[in-house]
Structure formats: C-alpha cells, structure tokens
Chain A
Amino acid sequence: MLYFTKWKAALVLLVCALGVVYAAPNFLPKDVLPTESSLLPSKQVNLGLDLRGGSHMLLEVDTDSVVRERYDALADSIRSELRQAQIRNRPREATLQGAEVTVLKAEDAEKARELVRNIEPNTVMSGEGNNIIVSYNDVAMKELIDRALSQSVEVVRRRVDELGTTEPSIQRQGTNRIVVQVPGLDDPSRLRAILGRTAKMNFHLVNGQKTAADARSSGLPPGTMILPSADEGDKAAGIREYLIDRRIVVSGDNLVDSQPTFNEGRPVVSFRFDAAGGARFGDVTSKSAGRSLAIVLDGEVISAPRINEPILGGSGIITGQFSVQEANDLALLLRAGALPAPMQILEERSVGPGLGQDSVEAGEIAAVLGLVFVIAFMVISYGRFGIYADIALMMNLILVLAVMSVLQATLTLPGIAGIVLTVGMAVDANVLIFERIREERRNGRTIINAIDAGYRSAMSTILDANITTLIAALVLFSFGSGPIKGFAVTLAIGIITSMFSAIWLTRLLIAVWIKRRRPNELVL
C-alpha cells in the first residue's frame, strides 16, 4: 500500500501542479494576467454580488395582462368578422379564459359559430347559446407567453445596458421571471426606477367637447376614457384628470430615438419618429390645430400641450415638470422600448461596494486565522504527520481555488464560510487515518504495517462520512438561492478535493519519508 508506482506518484504531483497553476491567477493583479486567448490560465474566482457589491433583482412579468390584451385584440377581430356578415353582437369584458362575444339574435348563433370557428389557428371555440368564447390552445398560449418573456428580457437588457455598468447578467427564470444581476452598481434605486416601469407611451388627442369633470357627471362620450394627470404643473392649476380619445394617434412603437435635453432652461425629453410615425404625427397635428395632444405614459398623462402648428419633421419634445434625472430616465426608457407587459420586482438584494470590500477582508482574516489555528493544532497533535496533513490542507485550499476558477463558480460570503469549514473538516480524513495508525501501533504492528492498515481501514469510513456531507451540500445547491448556493459549491468542492489531498498526498509524503529514512520509530 505504501509502495507508489512511478506513474501514480507522478499523477498525484501532476494534480497538485495543475492546482497551483490554475489557482495562481487569483494571487496576481489583474493587469499582469495573461489574456483570455493565451494558453496560460487567466481566470480568477468569480466574486458574488455580496462580495463585489451590486444588485440582484428578481422580476415577474405580468403574463396575465399579455393574455388579456391578446384576447381583447382577438375579440376585436371576431367582432369585425361578424360585422362584415351583418351579425349584430356585443363585446364582453376580456377574461383570461378567452375572447367572449354575445350574438344579439339567437338565430344568428349557428352562422356566427361557423364564421368564428377558424378565425385563427390554434384556437378552441366554446360557449353556450348566444355566447361565443374563443380561446387559444396550450401550444399557442405557451408561445404567446414565451414571446412576451423573451421580449421583456430584451427590453430589460437594453435598459440595463444604458446604465453602462460592466457585465450585467439578465436571465430568464421559469415561465414568467427574469433575474437581473448588475455588479458594481452604486445606486440600486436607479435600477429600481428603470425596471419598475412598463414605459408604454402613446399619443392621444384630448377630447374637445367635454372636460373630465363634465364626463364624470354626465357620462363618457363613446370612444373616450379618463386618465389621471401626472404633471405637477397641471395639479397646481387644479387639473387632475383628462378626458381623451381612446384612439391612439401615434404609438411609442414608432419612436426611433429619444434624448434628454433642455428647453428654456428646463429639462425636457426630445424624441424622433420613424417615417410612418412621423407622417401620421404630421397629419394629425395639421388637422387638429388648436386641440391638445395628450402624451400618455403607462396610463398617465405626463403632459398635454396645445397643438399650435403642424409638426412635420417627425420629431418633437416632451415638456413636463422633470428633474434632470427624470428626463434622463424617461429618455432612456423610450429609447429602450416598452415592455410587452408590466413587471413587478419580487425580490431585491443590493450590496454597496464598501460592505462587499469589508466582507472580503473579514473573510480573509477569518480564513487565515482559522488556518493558522488548525495548522498549529495538527502539528502539536501529530508531529511530523501533522506537518504532512498541513501540507495537504494547504494543497486542498489551492485546489478549491483552482477548481472554482476553472468552473467559474461564484464565491459568496457564505462561500468563504464554506471554505473555512472545509479547513476544519478537511483534516478529518487525516485525523481518522492517524488515529487508526496509533491504534494499530498500540496493537503491536510494525510501522509500515500500521500505516498501511491505518489507510486501509480508514478508507471506507472517510468515504461514508464525506458522502453524507456531500448529500447535504448537493441538496443545498439545488434548493438554495444566490449566496447559499455559493456555500454549497465551496463545501462540495472542498469535500471532494480534500479526499484527494488528505488521502493521496499525505500517503505519498509518508511513503517518501519511509523510503528515504527507513524509520524504526514512529512518534505519533
């Protein structure tokens, strides 16, 4: 057992050497590292957001509103189909179950069903009597939600990119969630502000006949709606709501650019339409001079300027009571485009750069001290063998770093705790072996025999003990989130590498010692 074949010894040394080479970049300053393309390893351990500072946000896309919107549109096309066939009908409130239309005359119902049956592929028709309900099947529904999600991810990416931070990560999670991670962000409230808004902007004409207050008392004229005003100037003038035409004059989808700028010393947002949008905008502003044009953002009127003259260039400015920051954000949101559906922030975890740095330092001190304690104690307890175990321990730490660098696993604060814990536990294998050797010596075995038996008998125990801890680590990894995953990763890696270093490396060291010195006494 203590005899190492040449290739086996070489293998152990090779693993150690690789560990050193791959761990090395972590101890070098960033600017002397070889470039990614060179053959030399250049990857450092990935620090988690809790250590480098940054924001983690979990967003949920309101897919219900996508479905509802889609059924609204479907109901519209059903109604226009029925109108063409001169079947009188009335719409129903859009639900999540499908687009619902009621046919007014019972005798039309059969004919209407025939017309609507194949109005769109992947739809199912149901409903009784005069009610017709058309819903999408699972395939179409999944595709609808999938598309909304990937669009949302795209818009979120464009918005986050505008913040100009390095390496943001935007990932889809499950059916309707998005995880955004932005390292090195000083002010999470900015991120919150730009992620929390849908930024759907549309231009509507303000209704000329009635004011919102009149409409409230005497009923809404057809084709109009009341929207609240978000303009501070309006509020000062006593205007809280606007009565506006439902019809969208120009939609935000036609925007091609938007920039913050100044007008008469006040921050405003300029915008530019594409050709189609510009033409429509010019058309409406020529025809409706004297009326007001409401700029509606996410269901609120941000301003409603009077149209004084036709705006033909396809561009304009939005005035309002903006601060510089607000004008910047609005321009950013308009540039990045609207989300297909509203989003909510379900979870946020942000760490400032100062705290991250403090945590790294605290973790380093604790790790070094823990290491020193354990190293000293092993030497006191096991003498020469303790030193071997300590060499294995150091090697283990290097291997953990190397594996984490290669896998690009993320090191978090609990992850540092995991490393410190493996320092304590890594020596366990050696403790098991050495205690066993002591016992075997007491039972009167020769040195070589005792060492041999020690390694052999301790082996199954070491395996059992480590596998059970590994089970806990794996479960933690699959259920845990963020920082806890980091803990599970270092714990699992530490357990696996410790089995190599504590068993093979110490055995090699002991074998070399025995071969060179041929000791006839073992102080243990």
Chain B
Amino acid sequence: MKPLHLIPDDVNVPFLKFRKIFYIVSLVMVLASVGLFFTKGLNFGIDFRGGILVEIKTDGPANIGALRDNLGSLGLGDVSIQEFGEPDDVLIQLQRQDGDEKAQMTALAQVTEALGDSVTIRRSELVGPKVGDELKEAGIYSVVISLLLIMVYIWFRFEWQFAVASVIALLHDVLITIGFFVITGVQFDLATLAAILTVAGYSINDTVVVFDRIREYLRKFRKMELTDLLDLSINSTLSRTTMTSFTTLLALIALFAFGGEAIRGFTMALIFGIVVGTYSSICVASPLLVVLRLKRKIPEGEEGQEANA
C-alpha cells in the first residue's frame, strides 16, 4: 500500500504572489479583534473578575427558571445560570460581591443554603477580589514574558528579521485567538489563558520549522530571488506543516468531543489557535521577511557548506 501523502510531492504554490491578500486578510482580522476587544470586551470568568461559581447536579432535568427565581431573590447581583453539558448539570455564577473577601464568603454560604439538600454540589469556586486582581496581573506578565523570551531565543538563533517576523506572527495569532473569544463569548479564564500561551508556543514552533528551511536555502541557493526562495522553502515544508497540524488537531478534537465540559473552552482555544498558527506561519511570517528586507549576507567560513549541503 502506498502511504498517503496529504500534500503532493511536487507541490508548488506561489504563496508570495498572494502575500498582499494575506496581509490585508490578517490586518483586517487583527484590527477587528483589537477593536472588538476594546468595545465588546472579553467574557472574563471568575478567575479574573472575582466572584463565585457553583456547579450542581439536580435530580432529573434542572428547572433553570425556578433556580433563577430562587437565587435571584437573594439580592446578590447578577446571577448567571446555565446548563452545563447535561440537562441535569447546572453552572451558577455570581458576580464579585461589593465589599471585601468576607462578603464573597457570605454570598457563597447564602447560595449553598438556598440550593438546599435536594441538589448535589459538584464544584464550588470562590475567587476574592484580591486574588482575581493578582491572577489578572500574573496572566498579563506570563504572556508578555513568554513572548519576550521566545523572541530573544529566535533572535539568538537567527537574524533579527526572523525574530521580528516570528513575533509579529505570534502576536497575530494571540490577538486573533482573543478576538475569537470576544466574538463567541466563550468564557475567558485561567485555562484559556494557558491555551493561548500554548498556541503561542505551537505557532512559533511551526514558524521556526519554515525559517530553518529558509536559512538552509539561503546558504544553498545564493543566486535565487528572495521571493522564489521563500516560496520554495514554504512548499518544501508544507507537507510537514500540515501533517503536524493535522495530527495535533486529531488529538484535540478527541479532547473537545469527549474531554468533558470543564475543558471545552480550553480545547476550543487550542483548536482555533492551531488553525490560525498554521495559517500565519505559512502566509504571514515568511512573506514578512520580504517586507523586513532580509539581507543575503554570507557569514565567513560557511562557504564550504554549499558543497556538501
């Protein structure tokens, strides 16, 4: 049996020819994401906002209306009540209560009391205002620090143009993934933040593979036009890029479908981010090298490499 080749061996897509279209598409998506982020905003979970979350299991399908009346009458502000995966599984979320940490505790006690013994409490989470603010701060730090470290690493391993291009592609992926969360209204919590950082790691991984090839061809084909060389590099690695994305997506889809409600938002972020990351390493990162005027300088002592490459 001949093994399946997802991408034909003689693939030769002139990606660079379409680069202006890619730039426009990407720019529109990034700007839309940023714009939506500032207008509509993310649906932050209690991790960052502070507040209370209680997941309950009811006997038989839950009566959401009755629950809403019951908990709404406590006067604890906005209470969000929604089905969570199964008809008898309900997720209750309360906004952060005015006042200090004690106020949150009291509210949680009120909720559990109002729910009574007829339901099983599967999970209860309480994040006080202090911790919420700290988690938000740590979240921002972690994104910024990983982006910086990744950029430094790439800069160390490649020319500066590669570092800049890869970080632009990375920001592109992170911003668009955040935009996805704004549009879908899927809750943004600690787990989704972790997913976004993983997307960052994955996307850079994809980009680096193409860049490695570009660097190799820069030494090998000194006379080739830069755009042709970039096209050749992208096409030679296209099979690998799609294969890896495909296998990762396969695993993630299994997780999305069967991994349970609790990590659905998390896997959704990963799936979306990997699709965007694959697109950006093919259509954004490498073409950007043309814009950044990558120089074809030949380091001393490496002439000999041409012969045995």
What residues of chain A have their CB less than 8 Å away from a CB belonging to chain B?
50, 58, 60, 188-189, 192, 196, 344-352, 354-355, 358-359, 362-363, 365-367, 369-371, 373-374, 377-378, 380-383, 386, 413-414, 416-417, 420-421, 423-425, 427-428, 431-432, 435, 438-439, 442, 457, 460-461, 464-473, 475-476, 478-481, 483-484, 487-488, 491, 523-524
Contacts and interface: CB of A to CB of B under 8 A. Distances in A.
Interface in B225-245: 236-237, 239-240, 243-244
Nearest to B113: A189
Nearest to A461: B212
Contacts, number: 237
Contacts of A352: 120-123
Given A354-B120, A425-B202, A487-B194, 4 more contacts: A344-B101, A464-B157, A475-B146, A483-B190
B102 A472 contact: no
Q: When A and B form their complex, which 5 residue pairs have the shortest distance between CB atoms, in order from nearest?
A: A424-B248, A472-B201, A362-B260, A370-B251, A424-B251
A188 B142 contact: no
A154 B25 CA distance: 60
Nearest to A344: B101
Contacts of A371: 251
Contacts of A354: 57, 120, 122
Contacts of A424: 244, 247-252
Interface residues of B, number: 81
B125 to A, nearest CB: 5
A359 B201 contact: no
Given A366-B254, A438-B9, A475 B145 contact: yes
Nearest to A465: B205
B201 A435 contact: no
Interface stretch (B36-44, B71-79, B148-156): B148-156
A139 to B, nearest CB: 28
B55 interface: yes
B270 interface: yes
A467 B266 contact: no
B31 interface: no
B259 A366 contact: yes
Contacts of A370: 250-255
Contact of A363 (B9, B120, B201, B259): B259
A188 B124 contact: yes
Nearest to A524: B3
B251 A421 contact: yes
Interface string B196-236: 01101110111011001100100000000000000000001
A473 B253 CA distance: 21
B105 interface: yes
Interface stretch (B14-22, B61-69, B130-138, B178-186): B130-138
B293 interface: no
Nearest to A473: B201
Given A352-B123, A468-B208, A472-B201, A427 B145 contact: no
Contacts of B193: 484
A427 B244 contact: yes
The prevalent SS among residues of A at the interface is helix
B23 interface: no
Contacts of A50: 262
A121 to B, nearest CB: 34
Contacts of B270: 417, 421
B159 interface: no
Contacts of A383: 1, 3
B194 A416 contact: no
A4 B125 CA distance: 54
A355 B262 CA distance: 10
Given A350-B123, A359-B260, A479-B141, A431 B244 contact: yes
Contact of A475 (B125, B126, B149): B149
A350 B248 contact: no
A374 B120 contact: no
Contact of B251 (A382, A423, A488): A423
A348 B124 contact: yes
A468 B105 contact: no
Nearest to A373: B250
B142 A362 contact: no
A457 B215 CA distance: 12
B80 to A, nearest CB: 18
Nearest to A379: B3
B267 A468 contact: no
B135 A481 contact: yes
A347 B4 CA distance: 52
B263 interface: yes
Which of B123, B125, B150, B252 has the most chain A CB within a 10 Å cutoff?
Answer: B123
Contacts of A413: 260, 262-263
Contacts of A60: 101, 130
Contacts of A344: 100-102, 105, 128
Nearest to A478: B142
Given A417-B266, A438-B9, A475-B146, A468 B120 contact: no
Which of A416, A460, A480 has the most chain B CB within a 10 Å cutoff?
Answer: A480
A472 B123 CA distance: 29
Contacts of A427: 244, 247
A349 B199 CA distance: 26
B297 interface: no
Which of A386, A461, A472 has the most chain B CB within a 10 Å cutoff?
Answer: A472
B149 A439 contact: no
9 contacts: A347-B131, A365-B259, A370-B250, A371-B251, A374-B250, A424-B244, A435-B240, A438-B239, A483-B191
Contacts of B102: 344
A416 B259 contact: yes
A439 B145 CA distance: 37
Contacts of B112: 189
Contact of A381 (B6, B126, B139, B141): B6
B12 to A, nearest CB: 13
B250 A471 contact: no
Contacts of A428: 205, 244, 247-248
Nearest to A57: B126
Nearest to B166: A468
B307 interface: no
Contacts of B259: 362-363, 365-366, 416-417, 420
Which of A354, A467, A478, A484 has the most chain B CB within a 10 Å cutoff?
Answer: A484
B274 to A, nearest CB: 9
A425 B248 contact: yes
A421 B142 contact: no
A365 B254 CA distance: 8
B252 A355 contact: no
Nearest to A372: B254
Contacts of A381: 3-6, 243
Given A468-B201, A476-B142, A369 B157 contact: no
Given A370-B250, A435-B239, A475-B197, A348 B258 contact: no
B109 interface: yes
B105 to A, nearest CB: 6
Given A192-B105, A346-B101, A370-B252, A469 B201 contact: yes
